Structure 1
Amino acid sequence: MTTAPTAKPFLAKLAARAPSLRLYSGLLLFTYVFMHFCNHAFGLISPEAMERADFFLTTPWKYPPFEQLLMLAIILHFLLATGRLVRRRSLRLKPKEWLQIVLGLLIPVLLFQHILGTRVAEIAWQVDPFYERVLVDLAVFSPRIGILQAIGLIVVWTHGCIGIHYWLAVKPFYPRYRAVLGGLAVAVPTLALAGYTAAASTVLQRAATGGTPYLAHIINEAGRTAQSFAFYSRMSEYFLIITLLLAISPFALRPLRLILDRVRRAHTLQLPNGKTVRVAPGATALEALREAKVPIASVCGGRGRCTTCRLHCRSGLTDLPGPNPVESAALRSINAPEDWRLACQIRPTANLAITPLLPANATASDGRRPGGLTGSERQVVVIFTDLRDSTKLGETKMPYDVLFILNQFFAEMTEALRATGGHYAQFTGDGLMALYGLEDRNIRRAIENAMRGAAEMLARIDKLNDHLKSELPFDLRIGLGIHIGDAIVGEMGPPQREQISAIGDSINTTARLESKCKEHGVPLIISRDIITRGKLHIPEGTKIHREALRGKDREVEYYALTTLPTISSHTEKTAAKGTTASQKAQ
């Protein structure tokens, strides 16, 4: 009675982990294939060299723990891959995806005879599968099967390389090493086939020279008997039927799924242009969009790794099941807002209004862009920092000396931001703009972190004055303008040189506030909104200034301060935790 309730959660967890299990089992199999190919390459020397290399490259895989792990990987990888194919509601795939699927289904058909004649014969009949005996079988007795094995090598390697490509396509380093990896992808099978061909030619020459005595010696040395050969012939027929059935089974099961889908109610995806896309029951949003011929990016082929199929869910989000582990990890990696999901992972259970967030030609690097920072309107805390008397500094120091001092200044300021969870947005000659609240939407905590950032900047200026005392004609001073408001935050700048920044009225207001530092002769100009919303404490009787800043009609209230406001003691602990979490995220 207890097994039924526990089976469903177990299967659900297994399904959620299927992409990872498919990847790891595939990598294990690819490692085995790579070592096997390296072994084949020694055939360029001689069959005996292949045998000696076999002890180091493939024999270790015959030890029970490794062999059992390899068999488990084969079964698991095939079941998960074919299960994914059966589960697809749409077969509108990219040519590369189709190629990988077809090659994967052909592998058992092409290689079962090789496995029967080597490892199965060794276990069942103690037939020694040393390389010269296998080469005699493939080159002398059954050249047709030998050709199939050569084709099988290419099929296995190509299937694995496509899978490796999809896995690495989302990695930042991949574009730099793609040419090298592509060269290896061609060189390894070329050497393996060359070694296989050279060793087969050697065996053919030995058979031509030695004749029947040579072949009889090889058969006796291997321990091959009439019974073992009969077993091989009989099982070959059975396994041919079995592997063919396995290859076509996903396509045979799909019609059953389609019949069931017709009975169940379908849901729709509402696109921004008003177009409605039907979603077959159990289908992913990516499959539905592809079936409807709606262009959408998917660099990783729908495996939940690249995030290029990211969607903004305008409505219906609450009806969606929560993200599975694969989707959760991908969304966390780009700091995505709660209303973002991946089209390749969600299976809508109700009508959903969506907006694709990246163009259909998005690349893997586009998929690595932070989520919540792509052209979104949000409240941020802004700090403008300006170095005082920089013109005077240029008059008294050589250009290279000024550049050295400015670089030191910017290094200290950006380090102050890093230590307090701020984001360096842009610099303007002798000043910079910083943003707080990009990764944490708690505005109170963003204000508190900004106050700590301002304090850190002022402290680092004092330390920099001590460090550069012999280089400076006068002490460096800075002015800080701090304000809060709505802004458009996103990647801005020329192509290939974009950086996260912000634009909006609040940004302009903060810049104007900072310019008031000179007028009031203070290091800090802080808007009343910051003091009020952050519940900050300033000295009693501090005058509040109210005026329309340059270029603006609306009046702004602000304080001109010589010291930073203090943070309420009951929020110190919470803010400190927020800062620590932000630093870890960076």
Structure 2
Amino acid sequence: MKQPPKRPGSEAAPFEAAIPWREIRLGTGLVLATFLLTHFSNHALGLVSVEAMEAGRAWFNRLWRNPVGTILLYGSVLLHFGLALQALYRRRTLRMPLREAAQLTLGLSLPFLLVAHVTGTRIEWALTGHDSGYPEVVRNLWLLSPGAGARQAAVLVVAWLHGCLGLYFWLRPKPWFPIYALTLYTGALLVPVLALIGFAEAGQEIAAAPERFAVPAVPVSDRLPAIAQGLYAFFGGLLAGTLLARLVRRLPFWSRRIRISYPNNQAATVPLGFSVLEASRTIGIPHLSVCGGRGRCSTCRVRVIEGLEDQPPPTAQERGTLARIKAGPNVRLACQLRPTHDLAVVPILSTGRNGVGSLLRGGRAQGQEREVAVLFCDLRGFTGLTEKRLPFDTVFILNRYFETVGEAVEDAGGHIDKFIGDGVLALFGLRTTPQEAARQALDAALRIRAGLARLNEDYASEFEQPLRIAMALHAGPAIIGQMGYGQATSLTAVGDTINAASRLEGLAKELDAELVISEDLATRAGLDLSGHSRQIVPIRGRAAPLGSWIIPEVGSLVR
């Protein structure tokens, strides 16, 4: 029987499968991020006093200079750097998005930037027992050698930026990330800023009273320069060896090239071993990859329309991702598929002008599932009202009604999805918890009813009968994303939750009620509606019926 060709580098696959390298890299990164956070917080105590910095340093040393902390910290440094070299080695091409390139470059540069600081503090303490305190370090970097102080400030920013990029790549696919993104960004900005200001305040305090912070001169070990040079050579050798290994690895495959065809007569001819995503980047084809090509999302998936036979099978991680989205048999992840012979693909989430334009903007435009609350509202009997009015009058009334609904929704914290005739669809929970979204939707319904009452009062002489409204509130999962074509593209939601809310709004009309609230939303909002009528509503296309509460008059609800 003919054996399928091996994927280049597949010899390491069992080893890679046995050891979760990505999780280890994440774990070591979190250790280093914790170290940076505690270290920078110690610097920020300079806003209080130099004595406060010294007091904080005592706790800092207890945490990181004990045997367990030392092994954890420096083991994480070496392992994290080694895994960064592994990632560099495994890349078939160095063309990548700017954020990924920045993270990789900053990470590889950090050991070289930190050598001087580490040898002057931690290694000196290990050799001589001399523990350089903040008065000595601040005096040296602020007064005696401000150039070295500026370099240390740059190292601080580089280290923190590298860590923040890593955390961003890890957290951005999380469904809750958009809710807390602004808070996280604010914290990420404040930490280095407060650390730098604290260090500067300490420098000014010492400069104002140098005799108060005088420290006796301590001879520096003459072994430190040699150790520093050795560390530079060690890390430099590792980096150079990795780049050389990349070159050596590519030589056997460079003579054999694979052609990957794309829509619109585009094609990439790349060496054997490139992934489809790397091929796309090589020739500049826009190809979405939210997780950065790590197989953690499905946004880079492609439909293989020719040449799928005898290609390497999906890895365990790729199989899990494809199973989660219920992908067809000819769908593969572009970042994981390394073809062994020519093939033709179609990027599923980046075809067409609108697809590329909207998906590459990031955020919710890429599409994500969220728990939302939905409000549907519609004017009742409005068709009969328009038959007796001039077109201008109809447009005027509708615009006043839409203004009333729009202000109510926005004041409650919601988002207007769309206007459909005289109906409105509003979403809540794009940046809040499901419980808060349910309460906001209820608040919006109450505001709409109050606004409509004012509208009827203001234009009582114009209406033969007051405007009446039917509303529905429901909560559940929905797919949120930029949908449409050209100028008609907007943020919208689709899914069973939207369909069920529309059905409940129709039920409100049938029952001559102002509001129907699903049990799902009532539970999340903490509503006790036991005094109202309950009805089980069958929903087309939904296996289970939906329990709902009928509210004839919204005014009967108490805020």
Query: TM-score, normalising length from structure 1?
Result: 0.59
Distance 1:277 1:313 in 2: 15
Match of 1:380 in 2: none
**Partners in 1 of 2:298 and 2:539 — Cα distance?**
32
Q: Give the aligned partner of residue 113 of structure 2.
A: 110
* 2:513 alignment counterpart: 399
Equivalent-residue separation in structure 1 for 2:270 and 2:151 (angstroms):
42
Equivalent of 1:174, from 172, 177, 181? 177
Q: How far apart, CA to CA, are the structure 2 residues paired with 1:393 and 1:24?
A: 53
Q: Please show how residues 484-499 of structure 1 align to structure 2 within 5 Å.
A: none
User: Is the contact between residue 89 and residue 245 of structure 2 (CA under 8 Å) also seen in structure 1?
Assistant: yes
Q: Secondary structure at the match of 2:304?
A: strand
The yes-or-no answer on 1:276 pairing with 2:267 is: yes
Q: CA deviation at 1:345?
A: 1.9
Residue number in structure 2 paired with 1:225: 219
Aligned partner (choices 267, 282, 291) of residue 282 of structure 2: 291
Distance 2:349 2:301 in 1: 7
Q: Which residue of 1 aligns with 2:527?
A: none
Deviation track 1:62-92 (CA, whole Å, cap 9, x = no partner) reads: 2222321222221121111122122222222
- The equivalent residue for 2:321 is 330
Question: Aligned to 1:304, what secondary structure does the other structure show?
Answer: coil
Secondary structure of the 1:127 match is coil
Cα distance between partner residues in 2 of 1:277 and 1:129: 57
Stretches of structure 1 lacking an aligned partner (at least 5 in a row): 1-6, 376-383, 412-429, 436-452, 472-586
2:537 paired with 1:433:
no
Deviations 1:508-537 (A, max 9, x none): xxxxxxxxxxxxxxxxxxxxxxxxxxxxxx
**What secondary structure is seen at the aligned counterpart in 1 of 2:540?**
strand
DSSP-derived class of the 2:539 partner: strand
Q: Which residue of 2 is the match for residue 443 of structure 1? A: none
Corresponding residue of 2:15: 11
Identify the range of structure 1 (325-334 vs 184-193) with the bigger mean alpha-carbon deviation: 325-334
Amino acid at match of 2:83: L
Displacement after TM superposition at 1:12 (Å) = 3.0
Counterparts of 2:22 and 2:343, CA distance in 1: 25
Aligned sequence identity (%):
33
Shift of 1:241: 3.8
Q: Contact 1:107 / 1:155 at 8 angstroms: preserved in 2? A: yes
Q: Distance in 1 between matches of 2:145 and 2:508?
A: 87
1:367 deviation in Å? 5.5
Q: CA distance change for structure 1 residues 335 and 32 in 2, over 3 Å: closer, same or farther?
A: farther
User: Unmatched 5+ residue regions in structure 2?
Assistant: 1-10, 351-355, 371-478, 484-498, 523-536, 553-559
Report the alpha carbon displacement of residue 364 of structure 1 after superposing the two structures with TM: 5.2
Q: How much does 1:283 deviate? A: 1.8
Q: In the alignment, which residue of structure 1 is the partner of 2:76?
A: 73
Question: Structure 2: which amino acid aligns with 1:399?
Answer: A
Residues 316-364 of structure 1, C-alpha deviations (whole Å, 9 max, x = no match) = 4453333334434433443333432211122222333322110234245
* 1:254-265 map, 5 Å: 254-263=246-255, 265=256
TM-fit CA distance, 1:203: 3.0
What is residue 335 of structure 2 aligned with on the other side?
A: 344
| Larger CA deviation: 320-329 vs 87-96 | 320-329
User: Counterpart of 2:391?
Assistant: none
Offset, 1:157: 0.7
Partner of 1:558: none
Deviations 1:361-404 (A, max 9, x none): 4245435469xx999xxxxxxxx99xxxx999978x6524xx54
Aligned partner letter, 2:116? Q
Query: Deviation at 1:174?
Result: 2.1
What is the alpha-carbon distance in structure 2 between the residues aligned to residue 86 and residue 410 of structure 1? 51
Partner SS state of residue 126, structure 2? helix
Question: 1:249–1:144: structure 2 CA closer, same or farther, 3 Å change rule?
Answer: farther
Measure how far apart 1:111 and its partner are: 0.8
Q: CA-to-partner distance for each residue in 1:80-109, whole Å, 9 max, x for gaps?
A: 112212222222222222222222222111
- 1:53-132 to 2 correspondence within 5 Å? 53-132=56-135
- Partner SS for 2:27: helix
* 1:269 counterpart SS class: strand
- Letter of the structure 2 residue corresponding to residue 300 of structure 1: C
- Equivalences, count: 393
Q: What code does the residue aligned with 2:68 have?
A: P
Amino acid at match of 1:11: F
Q: Label 1:57 to 1:304 Cα distance change in 2 as closer, same or farther (>3 A).
A: farther
Tell me by how many angstroms 1:277 deviates: 2.0
Instruction: Give the conservation status (yes or no) of the 8 Å contact 2:178–2:363.
Output: no
Rg (Cα) greater in structure: 1
SS in 2 for 1:432: coil
Answer yes or no: is the 8 Å Cα contact 2:42–2:57 preserved in 1.
yes
Checking the alignment, whether the CA contact within 8 Å between 2:175 and 2:369 is kept in structure 1 is no
Residue 154 of structure 1 pairs with residue 157 of structure 2: yes
- Equivalence map 1:130-529=2 (5 Å): 130-207=133-210, 209=211, 214-216=214-216, 219=217, 224-226=218-220, 228=221, 230-263=222-255, 265-359=256-350, 360-361=356-357, 362=359, 363=362, 365=364, 366=366, 368=368, 398-400=512-514, 403-404=515-516, 432-434=539-541, 453=543
**Structure 1 residue aligned with 2:45:** 42
**Distance in 2 (alpha carbons) for counterparts of 1:289 and 1:320:** 18
Q: So what's the TM-score if we normalise by structure 2?
A: 0.61
How far residue 248 of structure 1 moved from its aligned partner, in angstroms, is 5.0
Judged with a 3 Å threshold, the aligned counterparts in structure 2 of structure 1 residues 345 and 115 are, in CA distance, closer, same or farther, namely: same
1:493: which partner in 2?
A: none
